Structure 1
């Protein structure tokens, strides 16, 4: 019998709108719908989370991933891959009932010689790297018959999963603990049905648009050479480029922390990433000069366990039901001073003017022609960019809220 996997840090994705994202990939093989169905069954046998819904434990009221022997992942066949954003929005416009809907939805697009596949995942299923790993497993299984290996997914459950020095400072712990106590005194909580009504209204009133950009391999190679010459990374360059273009000095980036975690199992679905806010001190509009400063700031955060794990450590100390109330208290009609305080001070939901970049890096896979990462549209952000390269071909996708 599998060990029950409780929702801890992932709880922040439960009652927050637009906590879904996508990976759209082109697979190097001819299209067969039945073969796609059979490949998905193999993936479901390898990954327990693909056969799970979210459930609540009656005695403790803890949330966990409930495993089912039989569960259907919807696979929809569409004709036009160029209209993917329309399909993506149609499948998510009413939000996502994680207690009753599969955490993954799949759209397939037959082409003349190959096909495209769009994986739409709820963030409770995994982070971007987890889902691009799933796409690679799909491609390898479909094209060359490589059977996906079984993975016993293990999630972050306590501060002990992090390296030494990751916990919050005394002041931060005091603020979180004080807010937890105030939340208890408020003596009310958000029901999931209340949240679902808010989610649908928010998504109806806050439309999003998607902008694609392809950076050809030759251009990527030149950028890599330029970055090596200036002792910066390509990710530093991408972040600095966005800062210069948008005339901002603050960006939140996602960072993979798998190598730091005691709980991570190779190839597992789940969330093993942190978010770090980068503030550039440079005033230069030159991308390289700005990137040099960005590089220093990123290294400063990722070489300090306390700074790197700060946001996740906050989640570990927050009351779970208070986490549920944060978004709806700040941008909805639920009245909670505690929820609104955290939503404003920590999450940025009140101003909603943030910028974010998640770069999943480069994936080498001969069975995938190209792929694009469609990032989640966090309500805290004005713009969120997702970056993914496959075999050196880079795709960028920026989601924008259509704010007045």
Structure 2
């Protein structure tokens, strides 16, 4: 892209007006990093991802675009408190994406290391994308040459043809679009700021984190292998058991091209409904959860349903769903879509984003990356969202939930899930966690 050129936003449209959409990733970098060197490394890393040199613009019909700007907006700020408190504070402050703000950096100095906290709007990319940016900062610190990543949006033409929506579903969505086109309107950034502020005036969140060390993760891997299932299925089962009763469980799915390591959005999702069967042991439940997950992942219609569904809904109607739920906007079509998306109604019980093993490296020279933690945004249609990533043989877990009224219940859910993992044993009968 050249300055002033633009690319139409499709898949990312749902992120534009979301009032809760900040991705957080913490990296601990070992080494005595000067402010100057860190600032230069961050600037170099950001400048090497074209999407971070874009602002969001709209045309007269309400279509949205990534539009190239002269240079990226880079915000670097020191902090001296718990990094999770910074996430909680910053998620309440809307990104100024209309003027090109898509990312923020926060730095905490420790003895012989720094905590580098990256907060990214989902318009900048998904969780994996942020890990690649973190890796580029480390490369730049060590004086390595960075590879420029041009803006590469998800190509809906690559979705398997057999995954298309049913004719009946397309008829329903066309009807909604017709109603919307005759009654609806486009929204602007000022209205978004007002809705965003109203949303957070009555909300707070809490973040819990846990880490499995190398021996604990090794035992977990052996347990999964012995059961013939994935670690993700084991973890999902533990969360389903802790939730009690029937749970709607959403799982993020990556559709990123294997060769592309740039910022951008390559996540979709599938969902299952499950109630832990107390008449069976944990292993039997885990097998059932695993089967249900892969029944969706192996089915093109299920795996790509969300992508097709969003492509069929009028872009401004996607926006209006948020304003209907949280901005006092009254419109029947917007209200219908808001309910379809799960805004303002009973949210999905469990949402899980597992980045699996991060394709980044611990040591690359003078400076090394020693730990990574990941916290997904508590999107409006999720009651609780769990972030998982594996780095250097350690598995990081986070729980992002609403504060206040249900906080004691959420804390009990988290502790119960961790106890469940503690009770799992390896082949020698030794608990995974001690």
Once the two structures are TM-superposed, the CA of residue 174 in structure 1 deviates from its matched residue by 1.4
Give the corresponding residue for 2:345: 350
Work out which of the residue numbers 313, 316, 323 in structure 2 matches 1:321: 316
SS of 2:66's equivalent?
Answer: strand
Moved more, 239-248 or 83-92: 83-92
Give the corresponding residue for 1:113: 112
Q: CA RMSD in A?
A: 1.9
Once the two structures are TM-superposed, the CA of residue 76 in structure 1 deviates from its matched residue by 0.5
Q: 1:348 to 1:293 in 2, by over 3 A?
A: farther
Work out which of the residue numbers 334, 341, 344 in structure 1 matches 2:336: 341
Q: 1:100 to 1:135 in 2, by over 3 A?
A: same
Is 2:17 aligned against 1:15? Answer: yes
Q: Which runs of 5+ in 2 are unaligned?
A: 363-367, 406-434
Is 2:264 aligned against 1:270? Answer: yes
Give the corresponding residue for 1:72: 73
Which TM-score applies when normalising by structure 2? 0.86
Give the corresponding residue for 2:307: 312
Distance 1:114 1:94 in 2: 28
Q: 1:160 to 1:90 in 2, by over 3 A?
A: same
Q: What is the 5 A alignment of 1:5-404?
A: 5-57=7-59, 61-80=62-81, 83-142=82-141, 144-157=142-155, 159-247=156-244, 248-259=246-257, 266-280=260-274, 283-284=277-278, 286-363=281-358, 364-366=360-362, 367-402=368-403, 404=405
Contact 2:22–2:119 (CA<8 Å) still a contact in 1?
yes
SS of 1:258's equivalent?
Answer: coil
Contact 2:241–2:276 (CA<8 Å) still a contact in 1?
no
Distance 1:235 1:349 in 2: 29
Contact 1:213–1:397 (CA<8 Å) still a contact in 2?
yes
Distance 2:165 2:276 in 1: 28
Contact 1:5–1:154 (CA<8 Å) still a contact in 2?
no
1:30-52 alpha-carbon deviations (Å, 9 max, x no partner): 22111111112211331111122
Moved more, 308-317 or 277-286: 277-286
Distance 1:129 1:197 in 2: 30
Once the two structures are TM-superposed, the CA of residue 330 in structure 1 deviates from its matched residue by 2.4
Q: 1:353 to 1:315 in 2, by over 3 A?
A: closer
Which TM-score applies when normalising by structure 1? 0.92
